[in-house]
Amino acid sequence: MTDVSARVRETLGELGLTAEALEDLAGALLWRIGRADDDGLVTVRVGFATSAALFAELPRLRNATEEELAAAIDADELRVEWVGPRTR
């Protein structure tokens, strides 16, 4: 298991969630991870698959490596953006 994967599982546990629950939900989600530009924060965009057209309207993200993602988490410089309407 990678360092990032272990961190995700640990964080999910702290939130009272399981990786299995997240995997069940993952089929209904789209996500992109990257940087908007070379100096930008690592950004995670996530939304329901029904919002795919909205993802296409956003500026493209340059791929971020696993090392960049881990460094962003360590430095508390990770941006998470929800794409699409929020439902309750």
For residue 88, name the pLDDT band (cuts at 50, 70, 90). Answer: low
Please indicate whether residue 62 or residue 4 has the higher confidence score (pLDDT): 62
The pTM for the full model equals 0.70
Question: How far is it, in rounded angstroms, from Cα 53 to Cα 57?
Answer: 7
Instruction: List the domains of the chain with CATH numbers.
Output: 3-82 (3.10.20.570)
* DSSP notation for 15-41: TT--HHHHHHHHTTEEEEEEESSTTSP
Q: What is the DSSP letter of 44?
A: E
Question: How far is it, in rounded angstroms, from Cα 36 to Cα 79?
Answer: 11
Query: How confident is the model over 22-48, as pLDDT tens digits?
Result: 788 878 889 899 998 766 889 999 998
